[in-house]
Amino acid sequence: QVQLVESGGGLVQAGGSLRLSCAASGRTFSNDAMGWFRQAPGKEREFVATISRTGSITYYVDSVKGRFTISRDNAKNTVYLQMSTLKPEDTGVYYCGRSTRPLSPYSAYKSPGWYDDWGQGTQVTVSS
């Protein structure tokens, strides 16, 4: 059974920073592309960032480019989302997803359906 466990969420003031972590178990982590999505109340789950198996390729939603950085440490079976210059509109539950599919630039990674497994989510609240 594959398990993904997110941590690192919390309450932060606008302009502050948080680092989210997602620890994976149950299969070879290095074989999987990983992604972060977020969901605000009343809205659909939104793509935030994704990273290829080796970490050499990353993609971001336009609204977080230059502020968020996705990274991974395959030796620790962990993917990270470093969030800086946070804005109130970044508020939501952040979910870690795992995909067995190869990452390509053709936008499939923007869809929740591309991912096979999800963590339970971690709440990020940015106050103004």
Per-residue pLDDT of the chain (128 residues; tens, 9 = 90+): 689 999 999 999 999 999 999 999 877 777 899 999 999 999 999 999 999 999 999 999 999 999 999 999 999 999 999 999 999 999 999 999 999 998 888 899 999 999 999 999 999 999 99
| Helix count and strand count (H, E) for the chain | 0, 11
Query: What distances in angstroms separate CA 62 from CA 4, 41, 98, 112, one per listed residue?
Result: 26, 20, 21, 17
Place of tokens 């994704």: 50
Q: How many residues appear in the chain? A: 128
Q: What is the pLDDT of residue 4?
A: 95
Q: How far apart are CA 126 and CA 114, in angstroms?
A: 28
Q: What is the pLDDT of residue 2?
A: 80
SS3 content of the chain, % helix, strand, coil (to 5): 15, 50, 40
What b-and-e string marks burial along 18-27, b requiring 16 or more CB atoms within 10 Å of the CB?
bebbbbbeee
